[in-house]
Structure 1
Amino acid sequence: ELANTLWALARAPEKFRTETREAASALMARYVERADPKFRFADQHSANILWAIAKLGIEPEVAKGVLSICVASINETCGEYRPHSLSLCAWSLATLGVHPEVVDRIISEASARKLRDFENQQVAHLVWAGGTMLPAWTMDGLPE
């Protein structure tokens, strides 16, 4: 499965970073060639895939096809995402510097929920992503 394989590649020791980046890029290219355009990832899969792309330092253009599927998945089912997945998707997209509109959507979804249900690290990821990707963003309006 793509999400688990990319996650494992991203967890490999740093000394293998070049090889794991190349393997992940090739795997994503082959996946996109065969993917059903209507397919959507589950929340944990989107989070793992985006995290792996960011962790491996893969250029967004190289991962464009898989990023598109992840973004479509988030846009269509964001309301069903668990706090961990929301925060990790926001952090990963901000780290990659892509799709600020999706980061904004994720933060809006998280804000509509009770932030006390989020762990401290998850809130930190959301705040960092908002501050990084959304120049006009402030914490005003976030529930206490």
Structure 2
Amino acid sequence: MKFAQFCQQLSKASGNAKTFMVAVVLIVIWAATGPFFHYNDTWQLIINTSTTIITFLMVFLIQNTQNRDNDILHIKIDELLRATKEAQNGALDLDDLDAKQLRTIRKEYKSMGANESIAVTESTTTLEDDPKADGGQR
């Protein structure tokens, strides 16, 4: 089994409600055994060590699944851009730009969208030209 497949399966399992309930039960059992062990250092060390190890491993698991999901989204968006005739194909290769260049492009797109607004009702959502954006001349 590949690492990516392992991470995907483990991520799905760890995000499950049953897994959460198992964790809660384990913590309740640990807390309930406190008086039996007189809340000693070993009793505290068990929960501290367990949670530290699990957290450490989950960081790598979560990062792997986020990277994979991010790559998938980029590929899907790239395909939509490539297939849309009006789209700027230059947007397909933004990965090498620095933060300042990306902010500049983002400002350009924001100014393009400034002339439109979104009308939202319970049944429909439509884009409309914003009459205030061009001085009310329509």
Asked whether the two chains share a fold, i.e. TM above 0.5, the reply is: no
The structure where helix makes up a greater share of residues is 1
The structure where strand makes up a greater share of residues is 2
Q: TM-score, normalised by structure 1?
A: 0.23
Q: TM-score, normalised by structure 2?
A: 0.24
Greater Cα radius of gyration, structure 1 or 2 = 2
Q: Larger relative CO (CA 8 A, sep 6+): 1 or 2? A: 1
